[in-house]
Structure 1
Amino acid sequence: MQWVDEGIILSAHPLGDSSLRAILMTRAHGRHAGLVRGRQARAACQPGTIVQAAWRARLADHLGTWTLEVTDAAAVSLMDDRNRLSALASACALVESLTAERDASLNIYEDLRSLIALLGGEAWDIAYVRWELALLEHAGYPLDLSRCAATGVTADLKYVSPRTGRAVSAEAGHAYADRLLPLPQFLAVPGLGGSPEEIHQGLMLTGTFLARMLAQQGGGGPVPARERFLARYRKAHAL
């Protein structure tokens, strides 16, 4: 059997002397693995690279083989900024960790494709945090940051409950501030910018719930690529 689809390289691992086992997130076929043959394939199989992919196998449950044609080598354009490149690697690793194999999810695919483009812009780090929030929602763990869980107000939201993932206002959460997560204002107010400190708060917020999802799915500890990105972002901004 065979099919052709657009895909994004999530990871690629050596298999033998001149082949790779490449994992892609595809538009219509979800996360899918296959064998890529040839030494030249290694240069194409970088996380975040967008490809036209043809998958072939004798039976549907076989590993199969890829024929890949690069349409957008996004990682190359980010090589001069290690923070952005690390964010791209983190995003690809999270998608690989939080999606089921061969389970199509157009929203996750389209969001990752959009993030790849946004990583080249000025507010790339804000875009990345918002992408993680969207990934949580698509994966079945949405956070409600639109109104206070205790009072229903939509203004002066300052905290997030680590138990429910719902926002809490400054007044309602004051007495419990040490038990709540800080809510950076760029996540509470659409269109608002954020400082590196606030973006770091956003990464810690999403990281809390990503870790919980991974634990519930039996995925073990934190995703190494995300941990490296978080450490690099902290170091870059002396946080």
Structure 2
Amino acid sequence: MHLITQALICAVRPHGEHGAVVRALTPLDGMQAGYVRGGRSRRVRPVLVPGNVVQAEYRARTEEQLAQLSVELVHSRAPLLSEALPAAAIEWVCALTAAALPEGQAYPRLYEVLDGVLSAVEAAPSAKGWAAALVRYELLILAELGFGLDLSECAATGSRANLAYVSPKSGRAVSAEAAGEYIDRLFPLPLFLLGGGAAEWDEICDGLRITGHFLARDILIERQADVLAARERLVERLRRVVR
């Protein structure tokens, strides 16, 4: 196995005294794991930061063997880690990606959108400039892994008009007219998830409640404690902004 590709660093775990096992998302070969010799050294450690873009070279004798990985920095987002809210956003989207995706399966759309979300966090002057994109990325993760929400029509009537809620059981949209006595059990459906565009803070919070429910239920089942803790830190910091 010999692979040379650009990659987004998603997770780094110390291995031995000096090395690190790195999981990185590539454009055409999906999530790839590799061992970086000297990955905890002063020279390499700043490169192996979640969110960074690297030029990666993987080498292994067999497909089953953990590849040896060498990296060169292409673009660093490490300076953002000194700011609490951007750091929390980067930590979460990278941790989610590393935990959710199986190795070796291509997800070119996820790579493109993840890089876009990270770039938005980097460029936007406030969280309101990237929070809606983060919610959409969570929805895309669900869809790409086979747990996509159906927001195209009402689950009860088939109508495409006045969609206002999401069922926490089926992940399908529900119209205002069909909600009836179940309204308190449904998630409010923010309009930006239907038509795109900008979103207000209350809509962003509604979107995060929806995606958080389905991510915890369908994808992060065995890894909830560690991975969802990163999401809770992000949501708490966003709440402070809203206040």
Could you tell me the TM-score, scaled by structure 1's length? 0.90
- 1:1-239 map, 5 Å: 1-38=1-38, 39=41, 40-76=43-79, 78-79=80-81, 81-119=83-121, 120-121=123-124, 123-191=129-197, 193-214=198-219, 218-221=222-225, 223-238=228-243
Counterpart AA for 2:214 = F
- Kindly state the Cα deviation for residue 162 of structure 1 after the two structures are TM-superposed: 0.8
Judge conservation of contact 1:84–1:124 (CA < 8 Å) in 2.
no
Q: Structure 2: which amino acid aligns with 1:132?
A: E
Rate the CA distance shift 1:215–1:57 in 2: closer, same or farther, 3 A. Answer: closer
Contact in 2 for aligned 1:44/1:70 (Cα 8 Å)? yes
**Number of aligned residue pairs:** 235
Task: Flag structure 2 segments of 5+ consecutive residues without an equivalent.
Answer: none
Task: Pick closer, same or farther for the CA change 1:15–1:62 going to 2, 3 Å.
Answer: same
Aligned-residue sequence identity (percent) comes to: 38
Instruction: Give the letter aligned to residue 94 of structure 1.
Output: L
Letter in 1 for 2:24: L
How far the C-alpha of 1:66 sits from its partner, in A, is: 1.1
- Aligned CA distance change for structure 1 residues 86 and 147 (closer, same or farther; 3 Å): same
- 1:2-41 CA distance string (max 9 Å, x none): 2111111011122233221111111222212111123111
Query: Where does the alignment leave 5 or more consecutive residues of structure 1 unmatched?
Result: none
Residues 20 and 42, structure 1, Cα contact 8 Å, conserved in 2: no
C-alpha distance in structure 2 between counterparts of 1:108 and 1:168, whole Å: 27
Aligned equivalents of 1:105 and 1:188: distance in 2?
Answer: 23
